[in-house]
Amino acid sequence: MLELISAIITGGIAGFIAGKIMKVNMSLVWTIVIGILGGLIGGFIASILNLSGGWLVGMAIAVAGSCLLIWLINKFKK
């Protein structure tokens, strides 16, 4: 249960940061969803590249994955 709460909080922060970087305006729910999915995408890519680290590295990977997801969403919306 604690891991789920931690993932939601981390995802929310990552989604918020990615939203500011990509200059999009999202609701709180979408911010959390994008952050969590971005964390999964970033974690998958990091595992392929054999990257590991602490919380800060994980947050950077989640933000990068969230930015990638926002970019993909914007690309397919057009």
Tokens of 20: 């500011």
Q: Are 61 and 9 in contact (CB under 8 A)?
A: no
Is residue 1 predicted with pLDDT exceeding 80? no
Q: What is the pLDDT of residues 4-45, one digit of tens each?
A: 788 788 888 999 999 999 999 888 888 889 988 988 888 888
Q: What confidence score (pLDDT) does residue 50 get?
A: 87
**Global pTM?**
0.85
Burial class (CB in 10 A: 0-12, 13-18, 19+), 8: middle
Q: What confidence score (pLDDT) does residue 54 get?
A: 81
Question: Domain segments of the chain: what residues?
Answer: 2-77
Q: Which of 46, 16, 65 is nearest to 54 (CA)?
A: 46
